[in-house]
Amino acid sequence: MPDLPEPRGAFGGFIGPQNLLTLVANTAPWVLDGGAVPSEGRLNELAPAPLGWRAILLASERVVATEEPDEAQWTDYFALCVAAHFATVMTYVPTDVDTKIRDQLWYVDRSPDELVRRKELALALAGWDVSSISRRRVMVDGVGAVSGHDGERLSVLCGGILGLSRVGDEAGADELTNAVDAELTREARAFAALERTRGREVELLQLATVLTHNAGDVDQGLSARKGQRWSSPPGRRFGRLAHEREERYGGVFARAAALYKALMASEGHRNYPLREVRCLRAHPDLLLPFAPFLDRWGASLATSPLLSDADRTDVVLGLVTGVRKVRGQRGYQRALAGFDDAYPGGLSGKAMQRTLPASARRALRDTDLRRDMAVRPVSFTSGLAKRARDILARHR
């Protein structure tokens, strides 16, 4: 944890704005590099732009820590939290302010004008370009990119539906409801398109992961402040998409969940072993892509000019630790296999062996790990592809 410039609860009992920015810089120092501070505008007014999230972060000093924020300050703080969350959610150490956004910041001040501003900001999230802050996006022809950021947006929107409904703004809640439906429809189209396309099973599994997590984000948004029961109109329409009433959205979310549960759920951990590998935070090219398909990522780390020899040792140690601590996952083994192939002399060569502690050297000689690493990438992916098609055939 970095040193924080503000006391605990500096903004109305919540994390101070500069503390939040410090956490962003700690996990993604490159996010703010070289950016010019927008010349004018409240933070929510900076949102309607592809890099609105970055503009908001650059202008964060406009939110001043105070024990009793006024109506406008709460909206600016809402914007800052959303931007910070979007900037870091796919990094190694997310800021984790999403609960504050959906459970509290839709409710802290109920000024009609400010709620409208928050609603407009939530709608503007659809236009944010997150290509520089995520390596976990699936591109689908005719649909565009689908990613976990879409789930974060859905969670904000669903929290807003509840927040606006509580103050009687049914028209505003309907706007957010329509936005949720449009996004879920888009994601369903993307999945159906990849289902029809042989040879894209890896992307299909990645998309199954995204859709299942995004459906969970919807459930979290609808559960904000203990939310609405699933029998409520938003709950009946959007709730528990991955669990029941498969007919909604053509059954796509149920099929995605079936793939995820059988083949990808073991990769759904939070990558805690890599949080200690600080060198991986240095550049967006080092961000983690979809697990378990990490062979290329591992190979890139073995030769990246962004990393020193000492950094590479830290990476290997982090991956070895992950193999030991996170049972059932396969991504770290694939990353080590890719690293082994690309690093001069491999992991068993003198250059790497002399830098590793004895415990790591022993771990790399483990029979199970060596067996997993010996599987070639094409065999690994083709096996998963066949299993994916078999699962889908049973769910038709």
DSSP conformation class of 357 = -
Judge if 277 and 251 occupy the same domain.
no
Q: Is residue 83 part of a domain?
A: yes
Judge if 229 and 282 occupy the same domain.
no
Residue ending a domain, choose from 205, 236, 268: 268
Spatial neighbors of 5 by CB under 8 A, at least 6 apart, are 16, 18, 19, 22
pLDDT above 80 (res 170)? yes
Q: Is residue 243 part of a domain?
A: yes
| Model pLDDT, residue 301 | 99
Judge if 192 and 239 occupy the same domain.
yes
Residue ending a domain, choose from 220, 237, 268: 268
Judge if 190 and 301 occupy the same domain.
no
Judge if 331 and 257 occupy the same domain.
no
Judge if 293 and 362 occupy the same domain.
yes
Q: Is residue 393 part of a domain?
A: no
**Could you write out the DSSP letters of every residue in 23-65?**
HHHHH-GGGGTTPPPPSS--GGGG-SSTTHHHHHHHTGGGS--
For the ranges 104-118, 130-144, 149-163, 187-201, which has the lowest average pLDDT?
104-118
Say how many domains are in the chain. 3
Judge if 168 and 100 occupy the same domain.
no
Residue ending a domain, choose from 134, 169, 196: 134
Q: Is residue 309 part of a domain?
A: yes
What is the C-alpha to C-alpha distance for residues 296 and 372, in angstroms, rounded to an integer? 16
Q: Give the structural domain span for 281.
A: 272-384
Helices 252-259 and 201-222 pack at an angle, to 10 degrees, of 110
Judge if 331 and 357 occupy the same domain.
yes
Average pLDDT, the chain: 96
Q: Is residue 392 part of a domain?
A: no
Judge if 90 and 110 occupy the same domain.
yes
- Percentage helix, strand, coil for the chain under 3-state DSSP, each rounded to 5: 65, 5, 35
Give the confidence band of 114 by pLDDT, cuts at 50, 70, 90: very high
Spatial neighbors of 28 by CB under 8 A, at least 6 apart, are 87, 88, 91, 133, 281, 284
Judge if 183 and 298 occupy the same domain.
no
Judge if 260 and 334 occupy the same domain.
no
28-79 pLDDT, tens digit per residue, is 999 998 888 998 899 999 999 999 999 999 999 999 999 999 999 999 999 9
Judge if 140 and 254 occupy the same domain.
yes
| Model pLDDT, residue 1 | 73
Q: Is residue 391 part of a domain?
A: no
What is the C-alpha to C-alpha distance for residues 224 and 77, in angstroms, rounded to an integer? 19
CB 74 within 8 A of CB 12: yes
Distances (CA, A) of 274 to 8, 259, 271: 27, 26, 6
Q: Is residue 95 part of a domain?
A: yes
- Under DSSP, is residue 391 helix (H, G, I), strand (E, B) or coil? helix
Q: Is residue 324 part of a domain?
A: yes
What is the C-alpha to C-alpha distance for residues 144 and 356, in angstroms, rounded to an integer? 43
CB 337 within 8 A of CB 373: yes
75-85 pLDDT, tens digit per residue, is 999 999 999 99
CB 221 within 8 A of CB 102: yes
pTM: 0.96
